[in-house]
């Protein structure tokens, strides 16, 4: 396939998009030029591959955990009035990504038995925006292939639970969770316009909830449960003797967290999806929004350019307040 190319459901993709033309999908199921396939195009981080036919497109979401999945790609647009805004947590609502990357780094250091271990700049697109297990699997494959994801998760939750206790007690890492500039004003303006707000995160509840509470305390906005119309996290971790919930195999870039927030949390059906906006700063999140059928707004400052997903954004903005213009 030569750029620029037209991908049904996505639109025109240029050679400067950061996306990658492929001869075939990574699982070998589809090949460009055969069986009606016009092209195969991957995001820059290779997490999602788009199989374009004449009138439709399928998306293959790859999985470091061994459970890939195919989804139809639906056209996305913004119809007025906008009824709901679905917002990512890390990087979009709260600046916390450096903290969670640090936890991944500490977990990898524990696996290696090397307290001085540090991640490289090239690792960043692969240790943010996805599930905990995906992040850890990447580090294991690159730095310690003799270790298991189960060992890594043990260290991850050991570090996370200790740091969360310290933060909630006021003794934790300084500036771990900082509300995004203009968050308070943006959220209150959405409320004033009677637009419902959903908070959507691939983070497990035990790591996501302290972030939300910390941010709302800083903003003096009360209880987040009373403010948001729906909050969906990746659930609860599975552990020995504990009941977990689905979340590690179905996070962003899969569509389910955003789909569940809109359909179940807010009662907005698929046919009304064009009245919903999703806001993200990560490539995985942008893919998740688009695969759920919603228009995607990309926030500056995340890994959207590095992950090669900018072409999937219906709009791109620098500040939260810029989104208000899209609602008019």
Last-in-domain residue among 145, 168, 191? 168
- At 106, the pLDDT band (50, 70, 90 cuts) reads very high
Question: Do 150 and 258 fall into the same domain?
Answer: no
Residues 236 and 90 in one domain: yes
Q: Does 166 have pLDDT greater than 90? A: no
Q: pLDDT tens-digit profile of 268-309?
A: 999 999 999 999 999 999 999 999 999 999 999 999 999 999
Out of 168, 190, 225, a domain closes at 168
Q: Could you tell me if residue 241 is inside a domain?
A: yes
The domain that holds 245 is classified in CATH as 3.40.50.1000
Clarify whether residues 53 and 152 are in a common domain.
Answer: no
Residues 89 and 63 in one domain: no
Instruction: Name which of 17-31, 121-135, 144-158, 218-232 the model is least confident about.
Output: 121-135
Last residue of a domain, one of 113, 141, 168: 168
What one-character-per-residue DSSP string does 37-49 give?
--EEEE-TTSSEE
Do 310 and 217 lie in one domain? The reply is yes
pLDDT digits (tens, 9 = 90+) for 63-82: 988 999 999 999 999 999 99
Res 96 pLDDT > 90: no
Burial status of residue 316 (CB atoms within 10 A of its CB: 0-12, 13-18, 19 or more): middle
User: Are residues 203 and 141 part of one domain?
Assistant: no
Average pLDDT, integer, range 121-126: 89
- Position 261 in a domain: yes
Are 196 and 138 members of one domain? no
Domain for residue 79, yes or no?
no
Q: Confidence class of residue 112 from pLDDT cuts 50, 70 and 90?
A: very high
Are 270 and 307 in the same domain?
yes
Q: How confident is the model at residue 2 (pLDDT cuts 50, 70, 90)?
A: low
Same domain, 207 and 307: yes
With a pLDDT cut of 90, the percent of the chain lying above it is 80
Average pLDDT over the chain, rounded to an integer: 94
Assigned domain for 144 exists = yes
How many separate domains does the chain show? Answer: 3
> pLDDT tens-digit profile of 211-269?
898 899 889 999 999 999 999 999 998 888 889 999 889 999 999 999 999 999 999 99
CA distance 67 to 273: 27
For residues 154-173, average pLDDT: 86
Residue 292 in any domain: the answer is: yes
Report the pLDDT value the prediction gives residue 76, as an integer from 0 to 100. 97
Segment of 159-163, 165-169, 240-244 carrying the highest mean pLDDT:
159-163
Q: Which residues contact 66 (CB under 8 A, 6 or more apart)?
A: none
Residues 164 and 191 in one domain: no
- For the chain, the C-alpha Rg in angstroms (whole number) is 19
Domain holding 320, by residue range, is 84-96+178-327
pLDDT at residue number 144 = 97
* Residue 245 to residue 153: CA distance in whole angstroms: 16
Same domain for 114 and 62: no
Cα dihedral 219→221→226→227 (10° resolution): -70
Does residue 77 lie within any of the structural domains?
no
* Confidence tier at 4 by pLDDT (50, 70, 90): confident
The answer to whether residues 196 and 312 belong to one domain is: yes
pLDDT for the residue numbered 1: 57
Answer yes or no: are the C-beta atoms of 96 and 211 closer than 8 Å: yes
| Among candidate residues 283, 288, 303, 295, the one with its CA nearest the CA of residue 326 | 295
Is the pTM higher than 0.85?
A: yes
Report helix, strand or coil for 19.
coil
Which two structure tokens, joined as six digits, stand for 321? 């307040």
pLDDT digits (tens, 9 = 90+) for 39-66: 999 999 999 999 999 999 999 999 988 9
- The CA distance from 147 to 290, in Å, is 34
């Amino acid at each position: 396939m030569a750029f620029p190319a037209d991908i049904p459901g996505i639109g025109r993709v240029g050679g400067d998009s950061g996306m990658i033309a492929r001869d075939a999908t990574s699982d070998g199921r589809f090949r460009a030029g055969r069986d009606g396939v016009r092209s195969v195009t991957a995001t820059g981080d290779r997490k999602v591959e788009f199989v374009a036919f004449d009138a439709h497109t399928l998306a293959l979401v790859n999985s470091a955990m061994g459970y890939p999945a195919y989804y139809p790609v639906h056209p996305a647009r913004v119809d007025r009035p906008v009824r709901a805004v679905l917002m990512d947590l890390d990087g979009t609502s709260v600046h916390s990504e450096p903290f969670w990357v640090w936890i991944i780094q500490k977990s990898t250091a524990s696996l290696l038995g090397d307290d001085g271990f540090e991640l490289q700049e090239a690792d960043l697109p692969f240790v943010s925006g996805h599930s905990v297990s995906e992040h850890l699997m990447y580090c294991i494959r690159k730095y310690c292939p003799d270790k298991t994801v189960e060992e890594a998760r043990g260290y991850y939750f050991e570090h996370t639970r200790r740091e969360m206790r310290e933060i909630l007690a006021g003794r934790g890492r300084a500036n771990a969770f900082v509300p995004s500039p203009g968050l308070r004003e943006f959220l209150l303006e959405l409320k004033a316009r009677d637009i419902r707000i959903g908070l959507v995160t691939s983070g497990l509840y035990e790591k996501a909830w302290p972030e939300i509470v910390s941010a709302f305390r800083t903003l003096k906005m009360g209880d987040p449960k009373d403010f948001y119309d729906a909050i969906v996290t990746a659930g609860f971790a599975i552990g020995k003797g504990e009941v977990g919930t689905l979340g590690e195999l179905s996070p962003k870039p899969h569509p389910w967290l955003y789909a569940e927030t809109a359909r179940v949390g807010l009662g907005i059906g698929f046919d009304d999806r064009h009245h919903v906006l999703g806001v993200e700063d990560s490539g995985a999140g942008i893919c998740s929004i688009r695969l759920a059928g919603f228009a995607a707004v990309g926030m500056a400052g995340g890994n959207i350019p590095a992950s090669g997903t900018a072409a999937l954004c219906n709009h791109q903005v620098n500040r939260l307040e810029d989104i208000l213009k899209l609602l008019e």
